[in-house]
Structure 1
Amino acid sequence: MTDIASEVLIERLAAWGVDTVFGLPGDGINGIMEGLRRHTDRVRFVLVHHEEAAAFMATAHAKATGRIGVCLATSGPGGIHLLNGLYDAKLDHQPVLAITGMQETSVLGTGYQQEVHLDRLYADLAEYNLVVDNPAQLPGVVDLAIRTAYARRGVAHLCLPNDVQVAPADADPYQHVAPARPPATAPVYLPAPGMPRPEDLEAAARVLNAGERVAILAGAGALHAREEVLAVADVLGAPVIKTLPGKAVIPDDSPYAVGGIGLLGTRPGEDLVDDCDTLFMVGTNFPYTKHLPEPGKVRVVQIEADPTRAGVRMPTQVPMIGDAKEGLAALLPLLRRKNDRGHLEKYRRAMDRWRADMAALESPDRDPIAPQYLMGCVDRAAADDAILTCDSGTIATWAARHWTIRGDRRFYLSGNLATMAPGLPYAIAMQHAFPGRQVIAFVGDGGFAMLMAEFLTAAQHRLPIKVVINNNNALGQILWEQMVLGYPEHGVRFAEPASDFSAWARSCGAYGRKVKAPGDVEEAVRQALAHDGPALVDVDVNPNEPPMPGKVGHDQAIKFAEAFLRGQPHRAAIATTLFKDKISQLGR
């Protein structure tokens, strides 16, 4: 059997350690599918039901493993469908390779069926972006694409026309001045940015040692540096704020943890931002600047892997370039221990009060079911090394505040893109990557409905993922955003009755249960987690439960009131829920 060019592509992927490709076939990639078929012993193909999900899965694979994620789609509409998931990778700085097809080179430019020049479409998206015109370009351009994705922490794109895919692997139809075939170089896994410069470490130590009220803001770039973050926090007596993508940097019950900032943050976290005199940003480029200290009021030290992102959000006295783990380890000997722990103790007490307030909202006695209670049941029942994936929306608020990082738990969601629908495909990819771990997708009804066909993917691949649907029969986050802007809600609630997604789960041959009564929630969650296979619990929760910010600003309160006065159609139910929330907290 004659080797074809697509086999060279697959062989180079395998040489780089790629063992899984997520995708959906089409006539624009039949040659690549044949290459995969000939190498099933080296690279597994995971068939999905929508290309967007394939891109989310590739992104999730990269987030969870640190290794490049790969997705595959056909020409035209298939490649277009990848875009949302690939932008998730781009904005969260994850190495992903997208492989797409294209019409035969002889018909390009003629308006042929499904002729979409995906390289042009991907121009804003991809760090490496190439249409392969000649089999002789392989395997060298595969190496370049993967190396670029790793080095620039982003998306690479290779587009192979149909005739190139099936051409003989050694074909070279053109005359060349340069050598015809770029050599295949041994895969080189580029190291982390490494150690900051000694002079930057010394400058950082001077600023941090001089601070009296130091705060640490840790992000996803510090997920691998838990021990170092805790050690620095201890020496500096510094409370640690965590961004949402960095939620698993340190345990939530740590005496240094004060939760997050922003709309999904905690009151102690927000207070600390206004109270600190020195901010140490570790592995984060937190974009919501209105939740950061006022420029000029604090001194800032930052350790950042990418030089282009250092000092972007705030005036920064010491922008260090390097890896969080290595940088913190080198910084520690230069720091002086702060014996006055008053600053730290103040926020420990504040977090004790906050945790008690959050626990009070997890009441099983509230009807309709409180989403905080649902998340609390998942939190208590899940394993200490469970992986939770989450969609964007109000569910991210409940997960941020009621999913407790302890042991080796992990937490993943779409960070900077904040798109709907990745929770389910993320869970599928992570269950593939970690078959022995408990993987739970905590999703809303709106996000689940977008890519619900992927639950069938999980069932067909016999993946024991668990899906918990926070079903408020609405686009809950948009509802509350409209109110904060002073607008009565419009177009954000689905028609009654609420969907029953458990029926879909059962039709897929999986465990499915619908829950409407508070007394059934805990049992249903535990049964789903114990089920030997994919399971889904669809829980009807209170649609009028507000995802209140940790600290409500004056302008937000005014806008909220204006929405009520201007005819908020559900103001009575919302007011009742707010009253019950406050009673729960006062009655603890």
Structure 2
Amino acid sequence: MPNAAEILVDTLIAWNVEVVFGMPGDGINGIMEALRKRQHEISFVQVRHEESAAFMACAYAKWTGRLGVCLATSGPGGAHLLTGLYDAKLDQAPVLAITGMQFHDLIETFTQQDVDLTRVFNDVAVYNVQVSDAAHMENVASLACRTALARKGVAHLSVASDIQEQPSDAAKRSKRNRPAHMPQNMFVPHCVADNEELEKAAAILNAAKRVAILAGRGAIGAAAELEETAGLLQAPIIKALLGKAVLPDDHPYTTGGIGILGTLASQQAMETCDAVLIVGSTFPYIEYYPKPGQARGVQIDCDAQRIGLRFPVEAGLVGDAAETLHALNRRLKPKADGMFLAAARSAMHRWREMMRQSEDSEGHPLKPQLIARAFGERLADNSILAADSGQNTELAARHVDLRDGQAFGVSGALASMACGLSYAIAAGIAFPGRPIAAIVGDGGFAMQLGEFSTAVRYGIPLKLLVIKNNMLNQIAWEQMMFLGNPQFGCELQPIDFAKAAEAMGGKGFSIERADEVERVLDQAFAAEGPVVVQALVDAYEPMMPPKMPPDYAKNFRKALPQTPGHELIEQNVAREPAKTMMEAEG
């Protein structure tokens, strides 16, 4: 008879789970043995830190749309999963977390690693169960998979080490728990937008003269329908960061990103529109939406809870983005006046010219915009690009133009550091043979540096660009702009990441000057296997928002004289290509 751990693994296989990310430990020995016995049907990817396992499971779910699974031992092993699981919770990625426990009859006796992980996971999980025996496992394993997928969140199973090895015939089954009464198949609710709401939405959009579209990750897979909508409404498409791959960055309808990492063209469109259509996005920064009373709102989302979360919409369309847009498009009247879209295109053209000026700087020290642009231009048409959180996110958002067929991923609402490498590894596991790339900062990369050896072990064709300024750069700028405080505590001890990559069995390259960029990147992209390219860039290069808010400008001026290296910062700000337009608009 199968034991509880074998029932669990068999259930995962039945739910078409192909990979489990995790790290062994004595609290999950039974589950590890069940995975060993089924290793030809389900793969175990060993990581160097449980946090990475959770990030990988989250990223795997995002990349594939399927269930991501992570595994950790009792106590600290399970606790280490939390950051990656919160990433999944906030970005609505379906993930199953499996953790071990001490012996079932020693729970709450202060034994070793006596941590009630169900209590710890109570906030992060939509389904959270301590498995009591093998008969219980037959029911809850399937229900955990179903709930994670149906609710697009985290499910958690915690299993005592001795229960894992309990045979199903040894469990004391209750009379109501009939064997095999829980189905193994998935029932996906099909949500279709209400006709009355569709008519209301169409009336709002047809009456508007200047419609802006905000598209997020929920719009991925609806590119054709979104393009038709934009054409009918003559509306620019603004992309939230998670929606960067919805349309190619050079598409004539898009004005690129929004927010502090976005473009001035997108901000201008939001400030001057009289209606906004939000598709699959809950972009969190409310200050970048139209001002109250300025614009009417329509929102499409598959989750009714997300409707009206950031902006007071008058029509909420709950349903799949592609199907809902298709139904909406049949009700839209083509707009004859394309002046609003033309103005957005013109603004985007000017923005691109300014970005090109910053990317063409050949001075020393090396400017990060230059290396980011050159790195992005070398990505193959089917590349998958991950970014970490920090200044590197801005560089990926603004200076890497995604093309049709490329994919992009990042920790969205959680914005966690140390996610980029894990996201890239998960992409390589999910899509063997596709080129994988990541842009990370030296701060985030150092947090999970050992995980590069995981990329080596599993042969991920990874090109990893490390923006090395020996500084937690984004945090330093936030200290200045958000609160008017001088930079403090953000300097980092330098690490030679190229040598570290070689020590772990990969290849490492270094770039310090602009005239080295083309040659070294050519060598790096020609190399096989996992590659690190560390670029030593100007630590005093400013992170400027597309339009400097008055309070940011005031805080910046206050903090600058007290900040180390303020003379170099002032010189860089004076040379900032967008500075003139920012001041003129501000």
Paired letter, 1:459? V
Superposed CA RMSD in Å reads 1.5
Matched, 1:502 2:498: yes
Q: Whole-Å Cα distance in 2 between the matches of residues 170 and 259 of structure 1?
A: 59
CA drift of 1:183 comes to 2.6
Indicate the residue corresponding to 1:179 in structure 2.
177
**2:396 paired with 1:402:** no
CA distance in structure 2 between the aligned counterparts of 1:503 and 1:13, rounded to whole angstroms? 40
Q: Which residue of 2 aligns with 1:376?
A: 373
Q: Does 1:347 align with 2:344?
A: yes
Give yes or no for contact 2:357–2:577 (8 Å, CA) kept in 1: no
Q: Which structure 1 residue ranges, 5 or more long, are not aligned? A: none
> Which of the residues 282, 292, 297 maps onto 2:294?
297
**Aligned CA distance change for structure 1 residues 505 and 584 (closer, same or farther; 3 Å):** farther
2:515 pairs with 1:528:
no
Amino acid across the alignment from 2:103:
E
The structure-2 alpha-carbon separation of the partners of 1:280 and 1:584, relative to structure 1 and needing over 3 Å to count, comes to closer
1:332 corresponds to 2:329: yes
The equivalent residue for 2:571 is 576
Q: Deviations for 1:355-384, whole angstroms, at most 9, x for unmatched residues?
A: 111011112512111110111011111112
- Return the alpha-carbon distance in structure 1 between the equivalents of residues 256 and 467 of structure 2: 22
Whether 1:517 aligns to 2:513 is yes
- Cα distance in structure 2, aligned partners of 1:250 and 1:585: 29
CA distance in 1, matches of 2:560, 2:182: 65
Distance 1:554 1:441 in 2: 34
Q: Give 5+ residue unaligned stretches, structure 2.
A: 582-586
Query: How big is the shift at 1:583?
Result: 9.7
| Corresponding residue number in structure 1 for 2:584 | none
Contact persistence 1:137–1:182 (CA under 8 A): no
Give the superposition deviation at 1:322. 0.7
Q: Name the counterpart of 2:549.
A: 553
Q: Deviations over 1:58-99 (max 9, x none)?
A: 001000000000000000000000000000000000000000
Map 1:166-565; keep pairs closer than 5 Å.
166-173=165-172, 176-181=174-179, 183-188=181-186, 190-191=188-189, 193-484=190-481, 485-495=483-493, 498-565=494-561
CA shift at 1:527, angstroms? Answer: 2.1
**Distance apart, 1:196 and its partner CA:** 0.5
What's the CA shift for 1:409? 1.0
Deviations 1:142-193 (A, max 9, x none): 111111111111000001101110011332235x2412545341321525x5
Percent of matched pairs sharing the same residue: 46
CA distance in 2, matches of 1:96, 1:62: 7
Alignment partners' CA distance in 1, 2:459 and 2:248: 32
- Whether the 8 Å CA contact 2:436–2:460 is kept in 1: the answer is no
Shift of 1:110: 0.9
Q: Which amino acid aligns with 1:494?
A: L
- CA offsets 1:277-323 (integer angstroms, 9 cap, x no match): 00001111121111111122210001111111111212211011111
Q: For 2:370 and 2:179, locate their aligned partners in 1 and report how far apart those are by CA, in whole Å.
A: 60
> 1:16 is matched with which residue?
15
Other-structure match for 1:80: 79
Quick check: 1:53 aligned with 2:48? no
The residue type equivalent to 2:565 in the other structure is: H
CA distance in 2 between partners of 1:254 and 1:93 (Å): 27
Contact 1:70 1:96 in 2 (8 A): yes
Q: How far apart, CA to CA, are the structure 1 residues paired with 2:58 and 2:187?
A: 18
The residue type equivalent to 1:483 in the other structure is: M
Count, aligned residues? 580
CA, structure 1 residues 313+584, in 2 after alignment: closer, same or farther (shift >3 Å)? closer
Give 1:504 shift: 0.7
- Structure-1 separation of matches of 2:123 and 2:479: 31
| Residue 71 (structure 1) aligns with | 70
Kindly state the Cα deviation for residue 405 of structure 1 after the two structures are TM-superposed: 1.7
| Worse-superposed segment, 82-91 or 256-265 | 256-265
Q: Which amino acid aligns with 1:502?
A: A
Which 10-residue stretch deviates more, 62-71 or 102-111?
102-111
Deviation at 1:524, TM superposition (A): 2.0
CA distance in 1, matches of 2:384, 2:175: 53
Superposition TM-score, scaled by structure 2 size: 0.97
Distance of 1:312 and 1:182 partners within structure 2: 41
For residue 529 of structure 1, report the CA deviation from its aligned partner: 2.1
Q: 1:506 and 1:364, CA in 2 relative to 1: closer, same or farther beyond 3 A? A: farther
Give the C-alpha shift of residue 460 in structure 1: 1.4
Tell me how far 1:584 sits from its aligned partner: 11
Q: Could you tell which deviates more after superposition, 44-53 or 362-371?
A: 362-371
Q: 1:111: how far off?
A: 0.6
Separation in 2, partners of 1:452, 1:79: 20
